[in-house]
């Protein structure tokens, strides 16, 4: 799957126009086998881990919270990356020609854009949720409700579908994207689309996330100091809640930092002319979908307990959804 405009892609396209066949260099069997093995493992692990997150949050009533709704939405995007983006990346990178047909030539880049856009803006919603929980705790129950959170998550997905349809309108409307030559899928982006996409899909949500988390940790530090200076030996429920909120903010901040570190190279990949560098940058981004559940497993006790219940089939027992995981 090639992206235009670009010097190498234009040369391939001209070759195709002259020869009506895919002229890209074929990978060796060793390279193809290595790519298939690595990405197959990552794809399977990504799907399984994120499936555990989705089952845990949807099954156990104790996990039906606004924050976990956002985590559910993020895990859904990660699962789709593992089920769709990584396998197709495996196919296209190990075999330079496109054999998936005209319809998939249109849908694959479109779906990939939806997953990417929804992921970063779900993280922005998570940062807003944590900001209100830590900085305005008394207003949190009234401002952040399940209905509003679910509506916001659904709105993110709807906006992703509409935005990616607009940003790729030239590709979706190009009837000859697949007809130029056998085995080549040409994805066309106008120059201004790349700049807009960089702002909307990366810089703007990143600014929101960074600003809010700076504020969160400023407030969290001041709260920790006030707790230490408190001479009362027995903590109130409010203090315990504050500690829980700060711990959740810390865990989710790790998720966000890891995501940004993986996401930045993805937007830098079109700037590189080296095939191997582009592949590595894209794989780093896709690996993030596998890392998020591992972060939950390391920092969230409820995730460990829920996974244990799922693996041991305790969720099939009556009233298993009422189990306490906290």
Query: How does pLDDT run across 213-229, given as a tens digit for each residue?
Result: 888 878 877 766 766 66
d(CA 55, CA 74): 13
Q: Give the H/E segment covering residue 221.
A: helix 204-229
DSSP 296-321: HHHH-HHHHHHHHHHHTTGGGSTTGG
Buried b or exposed e, range 5-23, using 16+ CB within 10 angstroms? eeeebeebbebbeeeeebb
Q: What is the pLDDT of residue 152?
A: 94
Q: What is the pLDDT of residue 51?
A: 94
Q: Which tens digits make up the pLDDT trace of 132-166?
A: 988 888 888 889 999 999 999 999 999 999 998 88
Q: What is the pLDDT of residue 6?
A: 43
Tokens in use for 59?
A: 């099954």
Q: What is the pLDDT of residue 164?
A: 87
Are the C-beta atoms of residues 265 and 284 closer than 8 Å to each other? yes
Block residue for tokens 């391939």: 12
Q: Which residue positions in the chain have pLDDT lower than 50?
A: 1-21, 23-24, 180, 231-234
Q: What is the pLDDT of residue 2?
A: 40
* Total-model pTM: 0.78
Domain ranges of the chain: 2-20+29-227+236-322
Q: What is the pLDDT of residue 133?
A: 86
Question: In CATH, what number does 2-20+29-227+236-322 get?
Answer: 1.20.1070.10
Q: What is the pLDDT of residue 9?
A: 44
Q: What is the pLDDT of residue 174?
A: 60
């Amino acid at each position: 799957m090639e992206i235009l405009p670009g010097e190498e892609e234009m040369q391939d396209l001209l070759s195709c126009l002259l020869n009506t066949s895919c002229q890209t260099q074929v990978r060796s069997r060793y390279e193809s086998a290595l790519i298939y093995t690595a990405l197959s493992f990552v794809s399977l692990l990504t799907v399984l881990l994120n499936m555990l997150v989705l089952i845990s949050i949807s099954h156990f009533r104790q996990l039906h919270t606004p924050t976990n709704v956002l985590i559910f939405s993020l895990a859904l995007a990660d699962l789709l990356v593992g089920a769709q983006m990584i396998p197709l990346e495996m196919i296209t990178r190990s075999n330079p020609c496109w054999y998936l047909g005209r319809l998939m030539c249109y849908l694959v880049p479109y779906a990939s854009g939806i997953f990417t856009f929804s992921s970063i803006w779900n993280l922005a919603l998570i940062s807003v949720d944590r900001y209100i929980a830590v900085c305005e705790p008394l207003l949190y129950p009234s401002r952040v409700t399940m209905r509003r959170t679910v509506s916001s998550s659904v709105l993110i997905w709807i906006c992703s579908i509409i935005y990616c349809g607009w940003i790729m309108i030239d590709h979706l409307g190009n009837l000859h994207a697949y007809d130029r030559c056998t085995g080549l899928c040409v994805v066309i982006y106008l120059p201004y689309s790349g700049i807009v996409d960089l702002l909307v899909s990366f810089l703007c949500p990143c600014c929101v996330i960074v600003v809010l988390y700076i504020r969160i940790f400023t407030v969290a530090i001041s709260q920790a100091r006030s707790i230490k200076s408190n001479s009362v030996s027995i903590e109130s429920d409010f203090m315990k809640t504050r500690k829980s909120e700060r711990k959740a903010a810390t865990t989710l901040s790790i998720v966000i930092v890891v995501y940004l570190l993986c996401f930045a190279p993805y937007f830098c990949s079109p700037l590189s002319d080296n095939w191997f560098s582009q592949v590595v940058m894209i794989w780093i981004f896709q690996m993030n979908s596998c890392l998020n559940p591992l972060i939950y497993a390391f920092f969230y006790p409820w995730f460990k307990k829920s996974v244990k219940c799922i693996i041991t089939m305790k969720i099939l027992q009556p009233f298993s959804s009422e189990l306490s995981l906290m």
